[in-house]
Amino acid sequence: MPLLLTILGARPQFIKAAALTRAIANKVELGWSQSIIHTGQHYDAKLSDIFFEELHLPRPNYTLKLESSERTSRMNEMKLGITNAINACTPDAVLVYGDTDSTLAGAQAADALGIPIIHIEAGLRSFDLDMPEEVNRIATDKLSSILIAPTTTAMKNLHNEGIYGAFLTGDIMHDNALYFTKEMQALESKSVLLTMHRPSNVDDLPLLQSWIDAIGDWCALHHVDATFPVHPRTKKSLVALYGSVWSHVLLKKNIHAIDPVGYVELLRLIKTCRLVITDSGGIQKEAYSCETPSVVIRRNTEWVELVKAGHTVLCFEPKDLSGCANSQFGRTINGDDALYGNGEAAHDILRILSEKLS
């Protein structure tokens, strides 16, 4: 029975892994088994444990406890832990998702041991090398043996870098969003969902304050409430900006700060609001999967087809927020254009792995 060692470390990866884990269970005849290593990159219960529970992910077979807070040392700790796990379970392939430090650490550890690497979400590019994720993606694609691209744009990006032979499957996160919202109704509400956690937005305190002011002013003008699940990194900056009363300050601006929520609750919030304002890669796609328009508060996106189709607009600076929000609020989105496949990407991936590896 072929064995995959799946590397997980961060919130979006737990979500992505749920789709493939379901596919492995549904396609027993393909004979795949999976071991999981949790690198400890996101160790906060609200960013980690809750996902294993509600997504029915098996408990990790290996869990690392990272000692260092410095990035290079953490990468080295991850690589060592993953190397030990590979040596212990001798997998047929190592599977990595996305673009986090855990992704690259997994790819580098497997490469050093000569184990085939499967990269799911290959070929995504923001063309912004200031983003650590962009560097992680490019380096991981170069090391990988089986590249699974979610979009035709991702396939083109790989061709442009001289990487051929990738597989186009649709997006595994779209599989999940469709699966977990099957039974949810899109209620008529007048609310907004806000998330922001990218260092470029939240580590720069004056910029964060400008975003909060711009979003708060727009909400007040339109008598709209924004729900804001606050990432721990963002919370740190909000405390630095406004002190311990930060959530009261936000509330006065119609922004209701809450703790990070579980995946199903997050999807419910997306499905029932009229606009998503986010800097998250995953949430901009989930907005589309839930047929909710979005404003992405970044200068670029890897998910360019959302912008081309008008499902999302990029908002470069706080001064543009009002215009962008006006253009998207309450817009009707129709997911029939199947930008990210038909919800069966995980099954396609498993079939490809069976053809290539077993």
Does residue 150 bind ligand UDP (CB under 6 A)?
no
Cβ neighbours, 10 Å, residue 65: 10
Residue from the set 115, 207, 261, 352 that interacts with ligand UDP by CB under 6 A = 261
Number of chain positions touching ligand UDP (CB under 6 A): 16
Cβ neighbours, 10 Å, residue 58: 14
In whole angstroms, the minimum distance from the beta carbon of 45 to ligand UDP comes to 13
Stretch that binds ligand UDP, among 8-16, 80-88, 142-150, 211-219 (CB under 6 A): 8-16
Q: Which residues 279-318 are close enough to bind ligand UDP by CB under 6 A?
A: 280-283, 286
- Residues with catalytic function: 197
Cβ–Cβ under 8 Å, residues 110 and 144: no
Q: What type of residue is 34?
A: Q
- Side-chain-facing half-sphere of 37: CA atoms under 13 Å: 29
Specify the residue, 86 or 286, whose C-beta has the smaller distance to ligand UDP: 286
Strand partners, 118: 95, 146
Question: What order do you get walking across the sheet with 33-38 strand by strand?
Answer: 62-63, 33-38, 3-8, 93-97, 117-120, 146-149, 167-168
Cβ–Cβ under 8 Å, residues 346 and 19: yes
Alpha-carbon separation of residue 268 from 16, 161, 164, 257, 290 (angstroms): 18, 39, 39, 16, 9
Task: Quote the DSSP letter at residue 145.
Answer: S
Residue from the set 5, 11, 122, 350 that interacts with ligand UDP by CB under 6 A = 11
CA distance 198 to 236: 13
Does residue 260 bind ligand UDP (CB under 6 A)?
yes
Residue for token digits 């990468």?
75
Stretch that binds ligand UDP, among 63-71, 152-160, 262-270, 344-352 (CB under 6 A): 262-270
Task: Quote the DSSP letter at residue 299.
Answer: S
Stretch that binds ligand UDP, among 58-66, 154-162, 255-263, 313-321 (CB under 6 A): 255-263
Task: Quote the DSSP letter at residue 10.
Answer: S
In whole angstroms, the minimum distance from the beta carbon of 12 to ligand UDP comes to 4
Q: Give me 243's structure tokens.
A: 């002190």
In whole angstroms, the minimum distance from the beta carbon of 221 to ligand UDP comes to 26
In whole angstroms, the minimum distance from the beta carbon of 47 to ligand UDP comes to 7
Does residue 138 bind ligand UDP (CB under 6 A)?
no
Stretch that binds ligand UDP, among 164-172, 207-215, 254-262, 339-347 (CB under 6 A): 254-262
Cβ neighbours, 10 Å, residue 296: 26
Residue from the set 48, 140, 144, 195 that interacts with ligand UDP by CB under 6 A = 195
Residue from the set 9, 40, 91, 229 that interacts with ligand UDP by CB under 6 A = 229
Stretch that binds ligand UDP, among 58-66, 134-142, 274-282, 339-347 (CB under 6 A): 274-282
Residue from the set 4, 15, 93, 304 that interacts with ligand UDP by CB under 6 A = 15
Specify the residue, 91 or 231, whose C-beta has the smaller distance to ligand UDP: 231
Specify the residue, 46 or 351, whose C-beta has the smaller distance to ligand UDP: 46
Q: What are phi and psi of 49, to 5 degrees?
A: -55, -45
In whole angstroms, the minimum distance from the beta carbon of 141 to ligand UDP comes to 17
In whole angstroms, the minimum distance from the beta carbon of 116 to ligand UDP comes to 25
In whole angstroms, the minimum distance from the beta carbon of 187 to ligand UDP comes to 18
Strands (E), the chain: 3-8, 33-38, 62-63, 93-97, 117-120, 146-149, 167-168, 192-195, 226-229, 255-258, 275-278, 294-296, 312-314
CA distance 63 to 59: 9
The number of residues making up the chain comes to 358
Residue from the set 246, 263, 329, 340 that interacts with ligand UDP by CB under 6 A = 263
Which residues contact ligand UDP (rule: CB under 6 A)? 11-12, 15, 195, 197, 229, 260-263, 266, 280-283, 286
